[in-house]
A and B are shown apart, each in its own frame.
Chain A
């Protein structure tokens, strides 16, 4: 009986949180046009700290994933004498799945946690309350540019991840293992469909960008304004954002590639 009550309580708590975060998102979106008119510089600065600073980890991981993928696929394909298909196989995996998903997970860990911690600390040190007392809306001035920067950055980072990954596979497959270079590229071009594969991958990465950044800014803004509260909020961001990426990936894949 108590367990049932606790379960209900927990469920209501989650629902209330989701409701609040939805209202929060609507509030942010309402101020967006004003932000772009009055503070374009702020958006550019956030693009730097959210996007550019995530670049290194995306490059290194993309290269590594691509190289491993090239090696694994080659070993499998060569048994069937189909190593010429290495190009399209690697490219499909990256563009459809690994690019958006792995970039999304890395983005949650690198940029999402940083966003939550930054906003949470601004709250804990009364910077947000101070802004309000100066008649400046922190949602428009602090949260909105960060959300926008996240939404713009994520698809670009996913694209870079895929591109670097393909290059890594090329390096291993063609450079080290002797797959024919012409076949690698021409098969890739022939097999990959612009709309079915590339566009769907881009849509995924946009969705992940919105969700991860939204969770990150909401958790920061909603955090308990103490040292402990901010650290808990940061953890919650990484966990919730990563799980959301995986769950949404399944949903989107089922919707997009369901023939």
Chain B
């Protein structure tokens, strides 16, 4: 075990996933996954589309239960929690959905105020102060009266982020926050993730395809593929990682252990089979 590994092992984990197995119906998604999310860090989980990155976040949030293995968040076994226990835990975890998932019927202000109104009995004046502060933190205090339909994709995600931090969670999970955003927005979101994590003392999990972005803001990376963790390490170590899986992903090679082609019969059979048969 290297020095870095030893010092990492000494850090306390907020989320521990051990030997996780999960599938939808008969289809296997995870086949023995181990992931440790350390307190105070930004951890990025990468992997091709459809490997189950979103599914992993849903397992951590307790929206689905694993077939076997452990999911421990802040010392609690998520699959064993009662409904009330799960709701208590979720109050302290923010999940930023890929789409933002803003309530389309509510204004920006009411969206951000929603968790406060549901979970606290604060007077409206105090709610207003908190909401405006959180909107200020994402740079959208001036957009409070807009409706979600009037926001750009990047703004919608920032509003969703303000809503996520309004109850002061201990952890935020971001599902592909950069996907489909212009470079400026990507920069803004990157800065926000790191800044919020460090100033509010949070723990962050980021799902991403973007190797460059992910490397520059994370303390630790995981690469998932084919239901397993195929590589993990600090961003610098990952760049020099020998594993062909990790190399393909870090360099963005179209073909490699993750094949370019969806499984099919040999092309000769497919194209000329009718003729020769």
Query: Which A residues from 105 to 136 make CB contacts under 8 A with B?
Result: 121-122, 125-127, 129-130, 132-136
Q: Are B88 and A127 in contact (CB under 8 A)?
A: no
Q: Are A134 and B104 in contact (CB under 8 A)?
A: no
A141: interface (CB < 8 Å): yes
Query: Which B residues from 48 to 76 make CB contacts under 8 A with A?
Result: 61, 63
List chain A residues, Cβ under 8 A from B99. Answer: 125-126
Given contacts A135-B87, A136-B119, 10 further A-B contacts (CB under 8 A): A126-B98, A127-B102, A130-B97, A130-B103, A134-B115, A134-B118, A135-B90, A135-B118, A136-B115, A136-B118
- Which of A127, A129, A135 lies in contact with B103, CB distance below 8 A? A127
- Which of A129, A133, A136, A141 lies in contact with B93, CB distance below 8 A? A133
- Which of A125, A127, A133 lies in contact with B95, CB distance below 8 A? A133
- Which of B87, B101, B118 lies in contact with A126, CB distance below 8 A? B101
B residues contacting A by CB (< 8 A) are: 61, 63, 87-88, 90-91, 93-95, 97-99, 101-104, 114-115, 118-119
How far apart are the CA atoms of A132 and B63 in the complex, in Å? 8
List chain B residues, Cβ under 8 A from A135. Answer: 87-88, 90-91, 118-119
Q: Across the two chains, which residue of chain B brings its CB closest to A45?
A: B105
List chain A residues, Cβ under 8 A from B61. Answer: 133
Q: Are A129 and B63 in contact (CB under 8 A)?
A: yes
CB distance from B45 to the nearest CB of A (A): 17
- Given known pairs A125-B99, A125-B104, the reply for A134 and B63 (CB within 8 Å) is no
Q: Across the two chains, which residue of chain B brings its CB closest to A141?
A: B118
A residues contacting B by CB (< 8 A) are: 121-122, 125-127, 129-130, 132-136, 141
Q: Across the two chains, which residue of chain A brings its CB closest to B173?
A: A133
Which 8 A/B pairs are nearest by Cβ-Cβ distance? A130-B101, A135-B87, A126-B101, A135-B90, A133-B95, A135-B91, A126-B97, A136-B118
Q: Are A129 and B97 in contact (CB under 8 A)?
A: yes
Q: Are A125 and B90 in contact (CB under 8 A)?
A: no
CB distance from A45 to the nearest CB of B (A): 9
How far apart are the CA atoms of A168 and B70 in the complex, in Å? 69
How far apart are the CA atoms of A130 and B160 in the complex, in Å? 10
How far apart are the CA atoms of A135 and B91 in the complex, in Å? 6
Instruction: Give the residue among B94, B101, B103 with the most A Cβ atoms within 10 A.
Output: B101
How far apart are the CA atoms of A133 and B63 in the complex, in Å? 8
List chain A residues, Cβ under 8 A from B119. Answer: 135-136
Q: Are B97 and A134 in contact (CB under 8 A)?
A: no
CB distance from B171 to the nearest CB of A (A): 12
List chain B residues, Cβ under 8 A from A132. Answer: 63, 90
How far apart are the CA atoms of A133 and B78 in the complex, in Å? 13
Q: Are A129 and B118 in contact (CB under 8 A)?
A: no
CB distance from B15 to the nearest CB of A (A): 15
Q: Across the two chains, which residue of chain B brings its CB closest to A136?
A: B118
CB distance from B92 to the nearest CB of A (A): 9
CB distance from B180 to the nearest CB of A (A): 15
Q: Across the two chains, which residue of chain B brings its CB closest to A132?
A: B63
How far apart are the CA atoms of A121 and B149 in the complex, in Å? 14
- Which of B91, B101, B114 lies in contact with A125, CB distance below 8 A? B101
CB distance from B205 to the nearest CB of A (A): 13
